[in-house]
């Protein structure tokens, strides 16, 4: 990939992706001993997959960094070698995700060269472990400046999972303020657009790293007063919360935790913004060890079967759609309101579930399960970290023009169309989703074994095999989803639902919703009783 292509690739991440949800899973918390991070990249944009090949660089080589308009911001020195990267996982099974917490907006630095989207990619090209990735990120922002806003990063390798939070130092400032913690083995963590690291150990370099002035800077700015007697908390200093922020962000963490560990009591007061409520812990132990299907399922959530279930109520419409169109918050008669913000949202561009496995060579052990559009509807498809090509349908398309050739548009069409009759169509969609994902998950052991045998003889041939498998699988999934979209158009047309004999049936509306309508307009739709006594042939329609 040439320099210009790489710059364009990095700029792809300069989007409105400020509403993401991440789950972090350690080796001891999974049934098969893999680590995993999930990441929903939420924003109104058309994603395209890319591969950054490994490359050797001569002394003095550098990479130009530009802004959205193409203006050159500066150059970053290249190391002797950069690692190959498939989307958000490199050849050493290191994976990175993020969620933006914004924090103190005065700490954004327009002069900082690196935004989070560029920082992630540069780090994946340079780091062989999660802990090294933390150090690389700290060094890069110290050398070249961090533009902000506040950001939380999930980082995994086959051994460890780290959670890093970072915010800038203001216009003209140097570097960034950050802290990173290793998630204890056997535990999971989660974050969703608000800083979650509070107190942290200052003398445990094996499990906690931080920028040199992270506390002093907060004191200087008046974000923290040592005389208060309170311990320093990163999130309190750099990302003070509001009730609206907690409703928007902490509810997603609460839902991940309450589903992973249902045996525990998970109070709602904190995410409802009740003053003085106890925050949720940074990490928890799940009730049982998770497999990949469990992790997929955790990332599909509209708070079903809780008091916040978005498929219920008049706001869900007659067919129980869990989607609320933005803006999420509004004001009527000087009273503020907000819809719930779920993990599964129509605004997701793509999402990932990483799989890093210590028991295998990197080329086979690292898999990025990739899904397009809303997590509720997507089909996670495997991309091994050693592949060298991508399916064309994942690399083409644009937001301004619909195309059946674009995998994103295919998935986006199905999810949007389902809102016409959600309670009916979701059954058809999830049947295909389950069929495809079960097939891909079921095939993994066989694919792994073939690749491992080939890798022992010729790693290059193993890469060719895995590339062919991933490309063909992705193309088959998209073709099946395109077929699903066409099926839905035919089956659910003009308000009818076709039966097993392909005949349209008028299903009408659920009685509960009709009663709600009549409660608002009790007389509008009444029919006079005398009409029942008139023979059909004499009625005037």
The answer to whether residue 129 is domain-embedded is yes
Last residue of a domain, one of 349, 376, 409: 349
The answer to whether residue 494 is domain-embedded is yes
pLDDT of residue 13: 41
The set of residues, in sequence order, having a beta carbon less than 8 Å from that of 249 and lying 6+ positions away, is 101, 192, 193, 194, 341
Residue ranges of E strands in 373-512: 381-384, 497-498, 504-505
Q: Which two tokens stand for residue 103?
A: 């924090």
Average pLDDT over residues 460-473: 98
Is 375 in the same domain as 477? yes
The answer to whether residue 232 is domain-embedded is yes
The answer to whether residue 268 is domain-embedded is no
pLDDT of residue 316: 97
Please report which confidence band the pLDDT of residue 152 belongs to, taking 50, 70 and 90 as the band edges: very high
Is 293 in the same domain as 375? no
Is 284 in the same domain as 366? no
Q: Given a cut of 80, is residue 482 above it in pLDDT?
A: yes
pLDDT of residue 11: 40
The total of structural domains in the chain comes to 2
From the list 166, 157, 168, the residue with the least C-alpha distance to 127 is 157
**180-234 pLDDT per residue, tens:** 999 999 999 999 999 999 999 999 999 999 999 999 999 999 999 999 999 999 9
The answer to whether residue 41 is domain-embedded is yes
Q: Given a cut of 50, is residue 7 above it in pLDDT?
A: no
The set of residues, in sequence order, having a beta carbon less than 8 Å from that of 458 and lying 6+ positions away, is none
Is 290 in the same domain as 422? no
Q: Which two tokens stand for residue 204?
A: 């445990």
pLDDT of residue 67: 80
Is 214 in the same domain as 78? yes
Is 176 in the same domain as 79? yes
> What is the C-alpha separation between 204 and 206, in angstroms, rounded?
5
Residue 144 burial (10 A CB sphere; 0-12, 13-18, 19+): buried
Is 217 in the same domain as 366? no
Cβ neighbours of 374 (radius 10 Å): 25
> What is the C-alpha separation between 482 and 474, in angstroms, rounded?
12
Is 218 in the same domain as 73? yes
Edge-to-edge order in the sheet of strand 95-102: 51-52, 85-86, 89-90, 95-102, 150-156, 161-167, 177-182, 208-210
Is 287 in the same domain as 381? no
Is 410 in the same domain as 294? no
The answer to whether residue 492 is domain-embedded is yes
pLDDT of residue 535: 66
Residue 381 burial (10 A CB sphere; 0-12, 13-18, 19+): buried
Strand, helix or coil for residue 263 = coil
pLDDT of residue 10: 40
pLDDT of residue 4: 41
Is 121 in the same domain as 53? yes
Q: Given a cut of 80, is residue 541 above it in pLDDT?
A: no
Please report which confidence band the pLDDT of residue 530 belongs to, taking 50, 70 and 90 as the band edges: low
**230-283 pLDDT per residue, tens:** 999 999 999 999 999 999 999 999 999 999 999 999 999 999 999 999 999 999
The answer to whether residue 294 is domain-embedded is yes
Query: What's the chain's Rg over C-alpha atoms?
Result: 25
Please report which confidence band the pLDDT of residue 426 belongs to, taking 50, 70 and 90 as the band edges: very high
Is 376 in the same domain as 285? no
Q: What is the pTM of this model?
A: 0.94
Domain that holds residue 232: 3-240+280-301+344-349
Q: Which residue has the tokens 């954004």?
A: 108
The answer to whether residue 462 is domain-embedded is yes
Dihedral angle computed from the Cα positions of residues 373, 342, 419 and 485, in that order, rounded to the nearest 10 degrees: 20
């Amino acid at each position: 990939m040439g320099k210009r292509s790489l710059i364009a690739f990095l700029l792809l991440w300069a989007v409105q992706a400020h509403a993401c949800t991440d789950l972090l899973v350690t080796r001891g918390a999974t049934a098969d001993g893999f680590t995993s991070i999930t990441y929903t990249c939420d924003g109104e944009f058309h994603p395209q997959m890319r591969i950054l090949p490994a490359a050797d660089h001569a002394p003095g080589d550098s990479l130009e960094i530009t802004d959205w308009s193409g203006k050159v911001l500066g150059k970053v020195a290249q190391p002797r070698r950069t690692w190959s990267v498939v989307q958000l996982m490199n050849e050493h099974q290191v994976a990175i995700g993020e969620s933006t917490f914004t924090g103190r907006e005065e700490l954004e630095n327009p002069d900082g060269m690196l935004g989070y989207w560029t920082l992630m990619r540069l780090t994946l090209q340079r780091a062989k472990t999660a802990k090294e990735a933390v150090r690389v990120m700290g060094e890069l922002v110290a050398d070249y400046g961090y533009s902000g806003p506040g950001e939380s990063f999930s980082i995994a390798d086959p051994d460890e999972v780290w959670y890093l939070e970072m915010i800038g130092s203001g216009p003209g400032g140097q570097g960034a303020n950050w802290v990173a913690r290793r998630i204890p083995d056997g535990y999971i963590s989660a974050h969703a657009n608000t800083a979650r690291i509070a107190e942290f150990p200052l003398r445990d370099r094996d499990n906690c790293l931080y920028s040199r002035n992270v506390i002093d800077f907060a004191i200087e700015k008046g974000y923290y007063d040592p005389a208060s007697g309170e311990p320093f908390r990163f999130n309190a200093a750099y990302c003070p919360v509001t009730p609206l922020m907690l409703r928007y962000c902490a509810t997603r963490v609460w839902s991940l935790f309450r589903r992973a560990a249902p045996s525990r009591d998970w109070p709602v007061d904190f995410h409802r913004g009740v003053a003085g409520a106890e925050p949720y812990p940074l990490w928890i132990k799940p009730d049982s060890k998770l497999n990949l299907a469990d992790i997929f399922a955790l990332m599909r959530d509209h708070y079903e079967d809780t008091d916040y279930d978005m498929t219920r109520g008049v706001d869900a419409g007659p067919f129980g759609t869990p989607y609320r169109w933005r803006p999420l918050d509004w004001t009527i008669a000087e009273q503020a309101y907000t819809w719930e913000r779920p993990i599964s949202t129509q605004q997701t561009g793509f999402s990932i579930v990483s799989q890093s496995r210590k028991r295998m060579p990197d080329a086979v052990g690292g898999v990025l399960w990739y899904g397009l559009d809303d997590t509720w509807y997507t089909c996670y498809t495997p991309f091994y970290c050693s592949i060298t090509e991508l399916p064309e349908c994942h690399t083409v398309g644009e937001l301004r023009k619909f195309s059946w050739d674009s995998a994103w548009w295919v998935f986006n069409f199905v999810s949007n169309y389902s809102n016409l009759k959600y309670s009916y169509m979701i059954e058809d969609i999830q049947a295909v989703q389950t069929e495809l994902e079960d097939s891909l998950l079921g095939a993994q052991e066989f694919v792994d074994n073939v690749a491992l045998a080939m890798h022992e003889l010729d790693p290059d041939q193993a890469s060719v095999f895995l590339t062919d498998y991933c490309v063909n699988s992705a193309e088959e999934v998209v073709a099946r989803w395109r077929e699903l979209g066409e099926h839905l158009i035919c089956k659910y047309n003009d308000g009818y639902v076709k039966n097993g004999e392909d005949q349209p049936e008028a299903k009408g509306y659920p009685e509960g919703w009709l009663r709600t309508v009549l409660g608002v307009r009790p007389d509008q739709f009444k029919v006079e009783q005398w009409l029942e006594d008139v023979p059909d042939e004499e009625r005037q329609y």
